[in-house]
Each structure stands twice: as structure tokens, then as C-alpha cells.
Amino acid sequence: MHRREGSCMHSSDEKLRKANPAETPMKNGAYPAEMKPNAGSASRKHRYLSRILEIAIILAVVACVEIAARACFDGVHLADYYNRDIRNLTEEKQKVKMVVLGASQVYHGCDTELLSDKLGGGDVIAAGVASSTNVGNYYIMKDLLKRFDPEIVLIDLHWNTIMKQGDISYTRGNLLSMDRLPYLNQLEFAFKEFSLDQIPNVSAMFRFGGKLYSPQKLLKNYIRKKEVAGGKEKRVQHGNSVYIKNGFSAYVTSAGRGSMPAEHFVYSNEQNDAQELAWVKKTQKLCEDSGARVIYLTLPSSMSRVYSVENNSDFHDFVNSLAKKSGTVYLDMNLLKDREKTLPDTMFTDNLHLNVIGANFISGELAKLIQKTMSGEDVSGYFYSDFAQMQKDVHRIVACSAVSASLSDDGSSVTVQAYSLRNPDLEAQYRLLVSTDGKEYEELVPWQDSETLTGDAAGLRNPKFRLEVRQKGQEDYDAYQNNITVTDAAGVPAA
């Protein structure tokens, strides 16, 4: 009986010790290996941390290789000219009067030489980036403030730059912002600001413009980049623009009056993103802490684009309120008085970008407004109070587009659904024209009030269609769209 009781007690003690290792007696001051507390958990944690470290090292190597490859072997881009000019300004210890942050509207719309001449006191830098991001602007400004002490910083804002971002254009904007940073700053930007949800976008993008270069082409790219970096050439042709100085690249093509398409976008204050606005405020604080005066800006879009954005006034009011709360002013160049006369379509190259003539005009106006603002003058009298007031001075149909254009099942007729941008008091008429085998356009559907136009398409060889719109009672058209894509009954572009 005693043996059985002792046996039972011994068995119970074993169970207790296994359940509670802390009660297990140690040998030579240590637990038996199989009895160490949480040994398996610690081992798993170590493996996880090692794996995370391995992935981080791999990503770091990939990022370094990508940055180095683009820096050495990609074709010459606007960033190469910008970086060269910034480096020259730094080495020559030049005074910088003003920096303008923003998207491509900045580097196509701000004539840095003219602004510098008008403002005096130093150079002007157009630090714009295509598809710019607010976080990219912050890092670019952070780098520039290490080099220069600008007196003024303009932050160019548009309705789509303060909304929630995340598509592939946002990733593109971040990558292009990185191109304007020193290498170590690029790595800092990449590891701090590229979130996991951007990785698929990065992997989907060709950082060499979608081209696979031969070794000979890579070598030519490398040599050309070295030439740009070491030179001081100005007015360099780059596509349909000419690079001038300090980031300014002037478009040399002009849009025709009424030639830009009618689009439709909707802005809503509810879609404003807190993180994007936080980066704007962070950039403003960064600049003001260095002694710079920050001014909010919206560079002008074409009248077609202005009319295309629903609730444009809400955006203006929001930024105006944001500027007042943060102790600055807001210059909305879309509301510049008499802009219908002084800023026609021919001063643009497309819906968003000024050409060299437009950039020259706007830069002159901007310099005047900045000087007055810096001296404490109220410049509100130079602007319309809102878009409704501006529209009262627009007495034309601004733009038109074919919403849809399709052939009938048997291909004997074509139907175009038209759309136009105009003030409510204007009545529109439309007509459809066709060009065959490269000949001049001929009328297919005469002027009519209906937005649905149907014409005979039988026997047309290689047709190209053109839509025109005019005010009812007038002879000439106000706007047009060429080369309308026509689909067949299945929705496939017709041959």
C-alpha cells in the first residue's frame, strides 16, 4: 500500500514538474535541455527575425542596383538636366530666391529665367515632377533646403493631388521624385516611404521606359548622361519641349482653339486624404522653419479642363480655407481675371500644360502677384471670386467629345453620341464629318440640335470622323474633335 501511495505521489510530482518547469530542480544551476522554458518559441522568433533581415537585405540590394542602373544606363531625362543645374548652383554657391514645388504643370509652366529677372535676388527653381506626390515634394524640398536658403516657396496644388492616392501613377510620381534626389536620399525615400501595396506597381513598371537596350545603347546612354552631367548646355530639345534652366522645360507646340476634349471629373471634399494633407503641412512647416515664406498656388489648366471638373469651386474654397488656417495666401491662377482673353487655348499644348507662350505670360503675372503679396498687399482683386463669376465671361462652347461612336450591325451606318462643355444659357448644334483615304473632311451629318448623330457609312474607305459643335444661330464652330474611334457592333474598334 505504501509503495502504491509513494508511486502515485511520485507520478503526481512528475506531472506537476512537467506542467510547471519552474518547479523542476536544476542540475548544476541549469534546467535539463528538454525542460528549458519557451525554448521552441525563442527559436521560432529567431528564425522569423532572420528571415525578415534576409528579405530586407535582398530589397536593399535590389534598390541599390536599380538606382545605380537607372543613374548610369537609362536614357537622358529631364531629371538629368535638373540635377546638373542644381549641382551647378550648389557648387557656385548661387543665391536661390524661390522654389516651386508640384507636378508637370510646374516645370512646363514656370519660366525660371523670367521669374528670376522679375523677382530679383537670385535664381528660381522649378522643382516639378510628373505625377508628383506630396511626400515626393517633401523630400525634394528637404534636399534643396540643405543647399539653399530660398526666400519663397510655392506649393502647387490641384484637386487630384490632395485626394487618396495609390494607383500606378502615384508610384511613378514617387520614382520620378527619387530621380531628383542624391543617391543616399533615394535609399532613405525608398525604405521609409514605399509601402507594401506599391510593390506590385513598382514591379509592373519598366524603369527604362519599357525598352530593353542593347549593350551598345546602354554604353551610349552612359556616355550621354556623363556629357549632360558635366556640361552647361541650355535650350536642349527634349521631345516636343525645350529644356531651358533650373527645371523649366518649355513646350513648343500649341493646341488649336476648341481642340481639347470634353472630359468629366468629380471632386469632393470627402475624398481628400488626411495623409496627403499632412505631407503638405509638413512641407510647409519644413520651409517656414528654415525662414521661407510659403504660398499655395494652382497653376492654370485649359478652360476645357476647368469646365471638366465638377465642384471645382469646392476645391478652391477648401484650399483657400487651408491657406488661411496655416497663415498664408492662395493664388488660384485658374481664376485670374479676364483669362478667357489673356489665356486662350493656343497658350496651352494640351488640357493641363502651358506652352512656352503661356508659361511666359503666367510667369509674368505670377511674379507681379508674388511681389505684391510679399509686400503685404491684398491681391484678391486680380481674381474672380469664384468659378460662377468667371463663367459669365465665357461666351463660347468650350469643348466637345464623342462619348461613343459605333457602326450598325450590318456596317451601313455610323452613330455618334456627342457631348459638350458650355454654360447653361448656350444652345449647341452638332455635325459629323468624314474623311476617306486621307482626303479632306466632308459633311456626313448636317448641323442638328440632337446630340445623337447617325450617318450613312456604306462604302466608306478608311474613314476618319470629325465632330464639330457650334452655338445655335452661328455659322462657325466653337470646338471640334478629330480622329474619332468607331467600334463595330461587338465593341471592337472598326478597321
pLDDT tens string 6-56:
444 444 445 444 444 444 444 455 445 444 555 566 777 777 788 778 776
Q: Which residues pair with 331 in a beta bridge?
A: 297
Per-residue pLDDT at 195: 67
Q: In 175-259, which ranges are E strands?
A: 236-238, 241-245, 248-251
- Distance, in Å, from the CA atom of 354 to the CA atom of 336, rounded to the nearest integer, reads 15
Q: For residue 330, what are the contacts with CB-CB under 8 A and spacing of at least 6?
A: 295, 296, 297, 298, 319, 320, 322, 323
Per-residue pLDDT at 19: 46
Q: Who wins on pLDDT, 353 or 25? A: 353
Q: Who wins on pLDDT, 237 or 470? A: 470
Per-residue pLDDT at 336: 98
Q: What is the pLDDT of residues 53-85, one digit of tens each?
A: 877 677 667 666 666 666 565 667 788 889 999
Inform me whether the pLDDT recorded for 446 exceeds 50: yes
- Distance, in Å, from the CA atom of 159 to the CA atom of 272, rounded to the nearest integer, reads 9
The model's pTM is 0.81
Per-residue pLDDT at 40: 64
Per-residue pLDDT at 486: 87
Per-residue pLDDT at 10: 46
From first CA to last CA, the distance across the chain in angstroms is 102
Poorest-pLDDT segment among 55-69, 83-97, 319-333: 55-69
Per-residue pLDDT at 488: 66
Per-residue pLDDT at 4: 43
Poorest-pLDDT segment among 173-187, 246-260, 463-477, 479-493: 479-493
Inform me whether the pLDDT recorded for 306 exceeds 90: yes
Of the pLDDT bands very low, low, confident and very high (cuts 50, 70, 90), residue 411 is: confident
Q: What is the pLDDT of residues 155-199, one digit of tens each?
A: 999 998 888 766 667 777 888 888 899 878 887 887 787 766 665
**Overall average pLDDT of the 356-378 stretch:** 98
Inform me whether the pLDDT recorded for 296 exceeds 60: yes
**Overall average pLDDT of the 431-436 stretch:** 94
Inform me whether the pLDDT recorded for 279 exceeds 90: yes
Q: Which of 83, 180, 154 is nearest to 363 (CA)?
A: 154
Residue pair 100/75 in contact by the 8 Å Cβ criterion: no
Q: Which of 246, 249, 297 is nearest to 122 (CA)?
A: 246
Q: Which residues pair with 295 in a beta bridge?
A: 154
**Overall average pLDDT of the 398-405 stretch:** 94
**Overall average pLDDT of the 285-308 stretch:** 97
Q: For residue 430, what are the contacts with CB-CB under 8 A and spacing of at least 6?
A: 400, 418, 420, 447, 448, 450, 451, 453, 467, 468, 469
Per-residue pLDDT at 430: 98
Per-residue pLDDT at 495: 55
